[in-house]
Amino acid sequence: MNPVNRPPKAGTGPGAGVAVTSAAGARDHVRALLREHGRTGGANPDAVVDLLLVVSELVTNAIRHGGGLAGFDAALTGGGVRLAVRDNSDVVPAQARGTGEIPRTHRTNGYGWPLIIRLSAAVTVEPCPGSGKTIRVFVPLAPER
């Protein structure tokens, strides 16, 4: 929850202003955004799956490791989708500029951030005024071939 104890609102597209409180809610919002703009039919289906995986990982990380989801925004651009996920923690992911390499040893966690890096064309981590951070990514939606 954000500092005033209300669920964060999704930023743009259909359902703008609808509370996003879970990875499933964020995925639903992004699917609706793609449908509204007719992008599900023209995008490579694998790229849409990658996008939804990035959405899930970002939101789940904010909830599990970031002190809670404080904001979610998705915006469609000509070449893909820009996502911004805000949480309540100042801690930057350990491999903020990593290579996206999957851990070599079996662990129960630690796979999400490398997937985000690998599937996103751009990743930035910005501190928020006061506290928390916003992670912004751009996930390309390659045209279907």
- What's phi and psi for 28, nearest 5 deg? -60, -40
Return the SS3 of 136.
strand
- For the chain, the average pLDDT equals 82
Rounded to whole angstroms, the Cα distance separating 141 from 139 reads 7
Outline where 1-145 has alpha helix (H): 23-36, 39-42, 45-65, 112-119
Rounded to whole angstroms, the Cα distance separating 103 from 115 reads 11
Rounded to whole angstroms, the Cα distance separating 134 from 47 reads 23
pLDDT tier at 26, thresholds 50, 70, 90: very high
Question: Quick one: what percent of the chain has pLDDT higher than 90?
Answer: 58
CATH superfamily label, 23-140: Histidine kinase-like ATPase, C-terminal domain (3.30.565.10)
How far CA 65 is from CA of 68, 124, 141, in Å, comes to 8, 17, 28
Tell me the two tokens of residue 33. 């955004």
Query: Which pLDDT belongs to residue 15?
Result: 45
For the segment 50-68, the average pLDDT, to the nearest whole number, is 96
105-136 pLDDT, tens digit per residue, is 555 556 788 899 999 999 999 999 999 999 99
pTM of the predicted protein model = 0.80
